[in-house]
Structure 1
């Protein structure tokens, strides 16, 4: 693809190519689900529940266990990162998180070892927004303990060209 001269058709063709890879990216959590991290998360959120102080993790923590964190990177084959690079090359340089939809199959338990797969779910655009012209990019993450699916997330961002200030 060529820099800022990329056309909508080129962007969508690359999106389809990345989508066809399916859940090409997989990451293993560096640590198993553990009580100290659960406790720290509860404290940071200002939330307390005895259930989560005694061996279970809040469902909304699923992503916490596999986030790259400081000093680590997403896998080179991460579909969301690949699509963002395509849009950046086409001149869509700004990012705005728009929404996240999560579902949980079961609570995580201390000792669970998670892995996550990532796929590109959809790319829609170009859309005219208050922020500027952009594409909505949705990725789909699925968390597993062994072969058991325990959580999913659709994560949508707007990758856009910022409007000129008046």
Structure 2
């Protein structure tokens, strides 16, 4: 799916986005992206004068290679445009690297998850011993940033989790 969203950039307040085109693409490459977005912008500016071309200031996409290439193509048409790859994608890549570089944290998360999933008594004990804490969250690979949130939870609540695990062992 390709969505073209436009909005006014303002230094004093966040702009409101407006969806002007939503199209299913048979193939995703830089050419189909450009051929999709160009007509959408013509809905805004049918004549596309030099003044209007200079109004296109930003292109925000993910960091896929086809989007990087599309951004370079758009730069030819819109000289004032800045191509920004989505910050959420960058943060997800950082989270993936942290996960990869922290095998001991992964081991703790995995073992606690197994304990809580396979032993409902652990869940009951945790709720009884620490009613003020929510249950440990589970990282979901398809939801970006959940691994970091889980790791932070364990860092803040590791004593409570260890107490429950020790009680369950005996």
Normalising by the smaller structure, the TM-score range is: under 0.3
Higher relative contact order (CA 8 A, sep 6+): 1
Q: TM-score, normalised by structure 1?
A: 0.22
